[in-house]
Amino acid sequence: MNNIIFRKELPAVKTIVVKTGSRILCGAGSDNRIQLLATDLSALHKSGVRVVLVSSGAIAHGMQALKMTSRPATIPLQQACASVGQGRLMNRYESFFEKQGVLIGQVLLTWDDLRSKKRYLNLRNTMFALLDANVIPIVNENDSVGVDEIKFGTNDILGAQIAMLVQADVLVNCTDVGGLFDRDPRDNPAARHIPVVPELSAAVQKMAVDKKNDTSVGGMISKLKSAEMVTRSGIYYLIGDGYHHGLLDVLSKETCATIFLPSTHKMSSRHRWIAFSGSPQGTLTVDDGAQKALREKGKSLLPAGVKNVAGSFKAGDNVEIKTMKGAAIGRGLVNYSSEEIRCIMGCKTAAIAALLGSKEFDEIIHRDNLVVL
C-alpha cells in the first residue's frame, strides 16, 4: 500500500470514508490543513484504497464571504450562506486535488435521498460509479435547500450514513481534538485519552461533552451517535485530531485518535436502512409486555401492545418505537397508517377486521421490518 501505515486494530482497508469538520476547513491556517488533507487522501487513493470525503464547511465559507462572525440564527440566512459557500469550498478542494492529479466529484444530499429506498439505491449506484471511475466523491448536505438538515442534522451523522452506504471498512471523523477523553481536555489538562473503545457502553456515552463554536454544529454526542451507527454495521470508527495532525497520522498513531471497534453482531443492509436512514415519521409507544416481546423474544409488534401513537404517517413509513418512559428501543416499517393504528391499538389481532372493515396484516410491524436498538 505504498508505505501507508494503519493502526494495528484495523484490517486490510479497501474503502475509507473521511468526515472533516468546519473548523479544519476555515480560518487561519486552513489552506495548509486542506492541502495536507488533500495530499493524504490522494496518497490513500493512489495506494488503491477507495476514498470518500464527507465535508462540512459550506455555511462557514459563506459566513466568511458575507463577513459574518457567528452562525446565523435564521434558517433562510443559513441557506444563503451555504449557497455562497459551497462553490467557494469546492474551488479550494479542486485547486489542491488538481496538484495531486486526482479527480474529485461533488455530491449534495438531503435526508430525502436517504429516506426513500429507491433514491437510496440510486445514490449508492452513483457513489460506486464514481469510485469505479477513479474519482474521489466529496459529499455534503445540500444546506441551501434542506431545512431539516440545518435544523437537526450534522455531518457526523451524514458521514455514518455514507460509510454504511458504500460499505466502508473504516469511517474517520477528523475534528479538533485527539479522540475521546474521560473528561473535556480543553478544561482539564489531566483528562485521560482513551485510545481504544471496544464497546459503546453507557459509561462511554457519559464521557461525551458537547462544546459548539460559532461555525460548527456537531459535538462529541453526535460523534458517538455516528460511532454507534457504523460499529453496529461492522465498520471501524476513528475520531482523531485533523486540526493539528494529518489524516495519515490519525490512521496510524493512537496518541491522536480513538478507535471504536465494530460490534460482533453485524446488521444486514436492510436493517441498517430501517434503523438509521432519515428521521422517523412518527412514534409508537408500547407497554412493558410488548417491550419484552420485542427485545427478549424477537417478536413482531401487535396492536395489543401499542398504547399511544404520535405523528401522521402512512403504511410503509418508518416509525420509532418507545417505552412508556419515553426511551427509544427500536425502529420499524408499519403495516398500517397512524389513523388506522389509533383505531386498533390495544386490541386483539382478531378484532382488526371488525374495526377497520378488513385485515391485511396481523402485525403493526412485522419482525422482518423491525430493528431493536
pLDDT of residue 298: 92
Q: Check residue 288 and give left, alpha or beta (phi > 0: left; psi -120 to 50: alpha).
A: alpha
Q: How confident is the model at residue 122 (pLDDT cuts 50, 70, 90)?
A: very high
Residue 278: the pLDDT is 67
Q: What is the pLDDT of residue 326?
A: 94
State residue 198's pLDDT score: 93
Q: Is residue 115 predicted with pLDDT exceeding 60?
A: yes
Question: What pLDDT does 145 receive?
Answer: 65
Question: For residue 283, what are the β-bridge partners?
Answer: 310, 320
Which DSSP category does 261 fall into?
Answer: P
Q: What is the mean pLDDT of the chain?
A: 89
For residue 121, give the DSSP letter: H
Answer yes or no: is pLDDT of 206 > 80: no
Mean pLDDT of the region 277-289: 90
pLDDT band at 11 (very low <50, low <70, confident <90, very high): confident
Q: State percent of the chain over pLDDT 90.
A: 66
Residue 207 has pLDDT above 80, yes or no: no
Q: Is the pLDDT of residue 179 over 50?
A: yes
Task: Summarize the confidence of residues 357-363 as an average pLDDT.
Answer: 95
8 A C-beta contact, residue 341 and residue 349: no
Is there a contact between 59 and 215 (Cβ–Cβ < 8 Å)? yes
Cα-Cα-Cα-Cα dihedral sign, residues 72, 184, 248, 203: negative
- Does residue 119 register a pLDDT over 80? yes
Which range has the worst mean pLDDT, 37-41, 54-58, 197-201?
A: 197-201
Q: Per 3-state DSSP, what percentage of the chain is helix, strand, and coil (rounded to 5)? A: 40, 20, 40
Higher per-residue pLDDT: 352 or 263 = 352
pLDDT at 143: 67
Under a CB-based contact definition with an 8 Å cutoff, are residues 49 and 64 in contact?
no
- Angle between helix axes 220-231 and 155-165 (nearest 10 degrees) is 10
Q: Is the pLDDT of residue 102 over 60?
A: yes
75-101, pLDDT tens digit by residue?
Answer: 888 889 989 999 999 999 999 999 999
What is the pLDDT confidence band of residue 152, given thresholds at 50, 70 and 90? very low
Q: What is the pLDDT, as a whole number, of residue 149?
A: 43
**Between helices 117-132 and 155-165, what is the axis angle to 10°?**
70
56 in Cβ contact with 149 (< 8 Å): no
Best CA proximity match to 41, nearest among 86, 100, 106: 100
Q: Which residues of 130-148 are buried (b: 16+ CB within 10 A; e: fewer)?
A: bbeeebbbbbbbbbbebee
Q: Whose CA is closest to 157, among 109, 207, 205?
A: 109
Q: What is the pLDDT of residue 120?
A: 86
Q: Reply yes or no on whether the pLDDT at 227 is more than 80.
A: yes
Domains of the chain: residue spans and CATH:
15-271 (3.40.1160.10), 280-372 (2.30.130.10)
The residue type found at 330 is: G
Cell matching residue 318? 418508518
Q: Which pLDDT belongs to residue 153? A: 53
What percent of the chain lies above the pLDDT cut of 70? 93
Q: Residue range 21-48: average pLDDT?
A: 94
Q: Is the pLDDT of residue 217 over 50?
A: no
Higher pLDDT, 69 or 292: 292
pLDDT value of position 13: 95
